[in-house]
Structure 1
């Protein structure tokens, strides 16, 4: 990396003690496995609890989470904060190495996603092996950034048209970031993560599978409208059709999650339609 380039490796993991684990368990995982592995690479380990630069703590955490060239995420618990931070990384299609304790059920039942497992007992030789494996995974994942075959990118695995985009962050527009990103794009990434967890549950219904396909179809069409040069009347017809299709699917959804998913999509179509016409 060149001088001055971001060398942070953002670590996404439980900070406090979790039910079902001994006191200080994840502190040991960080100190004995994760941080030593990162230290052997060109990166520097950083966690959310170490971000204390300004009064805008949450926004600074968000910026460091997104800007970090690589991240490591421990999925050993279904910690909501961990899933939220992972969702942000995935929404912006930023490289992340997934790890979890051996015996932990997979949260996402997406075959290509790879998890690096470590032993709960953390015996000396197991710790050394885990450090080496994690070091190699970090280096390999960073090297594969931008590769269409990147197996830990949900954006690429789901063939989504593009990742989320964050505006430049400086002292004059932090409030804009808080409003635009936290309200709008966070709804979209929350929906995406809910879809991943939902599809990972056993016994997913055919109705839900069809809903996911329809969702992707409408999103792809929505992206095409914004990229094509249409006259106002043609664009209005396209947006109206998408809203009609989305409303019809919402009325026939079999589950609450699917209904919320398409409600988010309807809001997104409406926002994009308003933005499209305001610039014409």
Structure 2
């Protein structure tokens, strides 16, 4: 019995020691501070300029308790976009340099603010404030990177980061951005029942947008070719049903177009209407033979005159 009791006591002591060691190890693990900033040439500043800015941020913050790293960096190999989103969400604090208003930087800042995690925003003295983020305090620094002013900037940045970390640690409701706003009512999503002709018309508009986008990007990457094939397959099917076969949807589309032109006070001469339709909606105008399109416009004008 004495040996068992001694064994139990030894086990408890080992457990306590392990727990204390774990706490000690956690205390020694530095907090990771993510960095969001331009890294390539923008707004007249070279990649080397941004490398110098990054070094300034690291010099200001790197210490035993804080370790800085670009949110796009990681030890392992992986998908960079996934890594960026994960770091934007998981990093205890992020410093974001909006100098030059780099689109990628502004997008990543938007994600971080949407996550409502501690964020410190900095910018150079030649970059104007953005309307949406102007309520957030921006710590300025000279784009010229003058030594004396940079020394002051590093001191202020270090103080802001440490105080922000301390405040977020003791205040569970701490918010960098979203806490300043209150959503009093969640809007309901409106649903609408449409007739088959309206459905075909909406689908046709989607196809036209898809084809226009593909035509702009078809020489850029293979994805464009895939979108073109998908759009063509979908378009061929819908055009066969709604246009080539003279569906009721196409006739109503043409009639709606004629009615719209009449309401605008435009000429109802068939030739002028055909020209306008070909200019505004060439996909519709070229999807049926000219004689059939002419007949559709003529019938629409006739019905409008009868009414």
TM-score by length of 2: 0.48
In the alignment, which residue of structure 2 is the partner of 1:135?
A: 158
CA gap 1:111/1:122 in 2 versus in 1, 3 angstroms: closer
In the alignment, which residue of structure 1 is the partner of 2:85?
A: 62
Q: CA contact under 8 A between 1:51 and 1:61: conserved in structure 2?
A: no
1:91 aligns with 2:37: no
In the alignment, which residue of structure 1 is the partner of 2:53?
A: 29
Q: Give the CA deviation at 1:217.
A: 4.0
Pairwise CA RMSD: 2.7
In the alignment, which residue of structure 2 is the partner of 1:114?
A: 137
Q: CA contact under 8 A between 1:75 and 1:98: conserved in structure 2?
A: yes
Choose which of 167, 174, 180 in structure 2 pairs with 1:157: 180
**Larger RCO, structures 1/2 (Cα 8 Å, 6+ apart):** 1
Q: Give the number of equivalent residue pairs.
A: 167
CA distance in 1 between counterparts of 2:25 and 2:83 reads 22
CA distance in 1 between counterparts of 2:97 and 2:52 reads 13
CA distance in 2 between counterparts of 1:49 and 1:110 reads 22
Q: Which runs of 5+ in 2 are unaligned?
A: 1-22, 193-307
Q: Which runs of 5+ in 1 are unaligned?
A: 160-215, 223-241, 248-280
Q: CA contact under 8 A between 2:97 and 2:121: conserved in structure 1?
A: yes
1:14 aligns with 2:38: yes
CA distance in 2 between counterparts of 1:125 and 1:41 reads 25
CA distance in 2 between counterparts of 1:99 and 1:67 reads 20
TM-score by length of 1: 0.53
In the alignment, which residue of structure 2 is the partner of 1:3?
A: 25
In the alignment, which residue of structure 2 is the partner of 1:257?
A: none
1:51 aligns with 2:109: no
Q: Deviations over 1:241-264 (max 9, x none)?
A: x234x99xxxxxxxxxxxxxxxxx
CA distance in 2 between counterparts of 1:124 and 1:22 reads 19
Choose which of 240, 243, 247 in structure 1 pairs with 2:189: 243
CA distance in 1 between counterparts of 2:173 and 2:133 reads 14
Q: Give the CA deviation at 1:3.
A: 2.9
In the alignment, which residue of structure 1 is the partner of 2:3?
A: none
